[in-house]
């Protein structure tokens, strides 16, 4: 339906923001649900993030998805913070409730839901996570909550990995970056949460011959859809899960938070987003 003057409003905020697929995804869900609503992208520099968020909520915005580089700052301007966002140290979802800003993080849920939707349950599995930044923190939190039996973290900065272990996974094993291939031997799930393997970054140098033949190899990003990390794993005959599922699944609880109902299933949203990515390449 065509939005009216009383339409519910929500959006996504970041810098840059033009690459985001969230407006396409959310707008299609709005259309399929027959809602009188609008979902809009907003660009904000770090200096202007807080005043823009404040102005949008004063104007009646229901909520915002938050992307880089504002996920940490989103916590600082919130009145209420979920336990999950507090643990992860970042928020990707802000909502306005009774004049207060509430912060949450749906990235952890999104990653685990993407695995399960692909037919892979991490419960009672050994996981290897590469990286210790914001994406890794959300993924580790999700894996712990999902009940992995073992967790190894390999990062180029050991201090950062140890900090993440202290905050989220006290029983995790910390491996050096040079030990990442040895860690493949016991891993049922391997997740790249670093920037390495992107189209403009060097490869991770993974020796997939050391991986279990049954291992699931996942990436946290979706541009490109098949990262170098996933491509080399696939060439080695391993099962891969790209980052697009995480985007979709983290968006579902956001849609519910904004509009009070679940995202409809009438459109093959993954195919829609893949088509959009193809036009950009």
What CA–CA distance (Å, rounded) separates 111 from 92? 13
275: how many CB neighbours lie within 10 A of its CB?
11
Angle at 232 between CA 249 and CA 110, to 5 degrees: 10
Q: Could you tell me how many helices (H) and strands (E) the chain has, helices first? A: 10, 12
Indicate if the alpha-carbon torsion angle 88, 89, 92, 95 is positive or negative: positive
Helix 22-33 vs helix 269-280: crossing angle, to nearest 10 = 140
171: how many CB neighbours lie within 10 A of its CB?
8
Task: Show the beta-strand stretches assigned E in the chain.
Answer: 8-14, 37-43, 63-66, 80-81, 93-97, 100-104, 126-130, 150-154, 173-175, 189-192, 216-219, 239-241
Q: Residue 90 is encoded by which pair of tokens?
A: 């970042």
Q: Is 71 a catalytic residue?
A: yes
Q: Any idea which residue has 């938070």 for tokens?
A: 257
What CA–CA distance (Å, rounded) separates 46 from 174? 32
Output phi, psi for 120, to 5 deg: -125, 110
Catalytic residues, by residue number, are 71
């Amino acid at each position: 339906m065509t939005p009216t003057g009383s339409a519910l409003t929500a959006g996504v905020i970041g810098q840059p923001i033009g690459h985001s697929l969230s407006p396409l995804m959310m707008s299609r869900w709005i259309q399929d649900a027959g809602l009188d609503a609008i979902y809009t992208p907003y660009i904000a520099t770090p200096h202007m993030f807080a005043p823009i968020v404040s102005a949008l909520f004063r104007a009646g915005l229901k909520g915002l998805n938050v992307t880089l580089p504002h996920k940490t700052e989103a916590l600082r301007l919130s009145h209420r913070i979920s336990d999950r966002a507090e643990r992860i140290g970042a928020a990707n979802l802000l909502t306005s409730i009774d004049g207060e800003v509430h912060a949450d993080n749906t990235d952890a849920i999104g990653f685990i839901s993407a695995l399960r939707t692909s037919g892979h349950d991490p419960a009672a599995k050994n996981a290897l996570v590469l990286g210790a930044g914001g994406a890794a923190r959300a993924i580790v939190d999700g894996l712990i909550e999902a009940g992995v039996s073992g967790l190894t973290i390999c990062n180029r900065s050991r201090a950062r990995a140890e900090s993440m272990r202290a905050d989220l996974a006290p029983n995790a094993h910390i491996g050096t970056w040079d030990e990442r291939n040895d860690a493949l031997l016991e891993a049922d799930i391997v997740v790249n949460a670093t920037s390495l393997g992107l189209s403009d970054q060097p490869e991770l140098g993974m020796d997939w011959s050391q991986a279990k033949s049954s291992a699931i190899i996942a990436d946290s990003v979706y541009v490109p859809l098949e990262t170098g990390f996933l491509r080399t794993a696939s060439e080695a005959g391993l099962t891969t899960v790209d980052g697009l599922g995480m985007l979709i699944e983290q968006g579902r609880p956001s849609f519910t938070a904004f509009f009070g109902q679940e995202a409809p299933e009438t459109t093959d949203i993954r195919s829609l987003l893949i088509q959009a990515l193809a036009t950009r390449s």
